[in-house]
Amino acid sequence: MKTAWETLLKDSVRNPRELAGCLPLDLAGAETVTAVYPMKINPYFLDLMLQKGPTLIRQVVPDTRELLDPIGMDDPLGEENYSPVPNLTHRYPDRVLFLVSSECPVYCRFCTRKRRIGKTGAVTTRALTECFRYIRAHREVRDVLLSGGDPLLLSDERLEWILSSVRSIPHVEIIRIGTRVPGALPQRVTARLCRMLKKYHPLYFNLHFNHSDELTDASKQACGHLADAGIPLGSQTVLLRGINDEPSVVQNLMTSLLAMRVRPYYLLQGDLTRGTNHFRTRLETGLKILRHLRGRVSGLAVPTYVVDLPGGGGKVPLIPEYRLEQRGREAVFKNYLDQEYRYSEPTIP
């Protein structure tokens, strides 16, 4: 017998014709797009987006501009180039990205893995076992990030098998899970799931929220259950043109997340993924947002603004320039109100 969340997933909308009666839609265009980049919207998120409007609709409904991207790349972060075995990327010395699922609660139109999501089958036991073998053989790996797709779309049993297998490797210190479930399918966060997760600490979750319209009572409850299970929660927000690229919108989201015990972690500049150019903003947009946040909200609510460099260069932080000049041992700064201040550095023999 299927659980409530499994039933919601089974009833997901995958054909644009099913949307035509719900909202204005270029049906022919949407069908052309989904032939290249599949669509999936579960009933929970469908109802929510019809209530909230464009902030959510544009995130998941196909747009013909996805086929008109002049500069996008299939694998913008070079994940395949750093993949010693399928489904695992080892780009940084001490950590690996481990893709354990090929499914998500919704298919985000800006997804950095548009080349994979909804197009590949389930990750097989044999493939997962090969990844365990690689991690075990590389003692420098102390941090394993489970991603996909969304790991929480696996059954409790399958997910526990993966967690227990990774946790059994002596040199792995922490495990992280990247998921959009609390915002896109919060029904998945059950008491049974949380009881199982508690057995595998230290365990961290990176959640994905892009707009405060996603913060429903159900999503708040899901985050509360995870936090009560002792799991530190961080949020990752993708900067999306016309959706969340205004300072007040990001401020509202970050402060609301913090009130839910979710610490803002990253504000991500859009990757150079093929089919996502219409979502991407200029770098100055993100810097403007950070300048607005600094000083107006608690430092706990200020994420790190990062660009994940094309080709596998890794994440680099961007921050507004606050130091105007250096005059000998005196540095001249401006604060968030554009007021100037001077700071004298120490004399060091």
Q: Which residues are catalytic?
A: 91-92, 95, 104, 108, 111, 113, 271, 308, 315
Compute the distance between CA of residue 180 and CA of residue 86 in angstroms, rounded to an integer. 23
> 3-state DSSP call for residue 273?
strand
3-state secondary structure of 289: helix
Nearest to 127 by CA among 85, 82, 178: 85
Q: How many CB atoms lie within 10 A of CB 219?
A: 23
Distance CA 268, CA 318 (A): 10
Number of H helices, E strands in the chain: 11, 12
User: Measured over all CA atoms, what is the biggest interatomic distance in the chain, rounded to whole angstroms?
Assistant: 76
On whether the CB atoms of residues 215 and 254 are closer than 8 A, the answer is: no
Angle between helices 125-137 and 156-167 (to 10 degrees): 20
What tokens were used for 258?
């913090």
295: left (phi over 0), alpha (psi -120 to 50) or beta: left
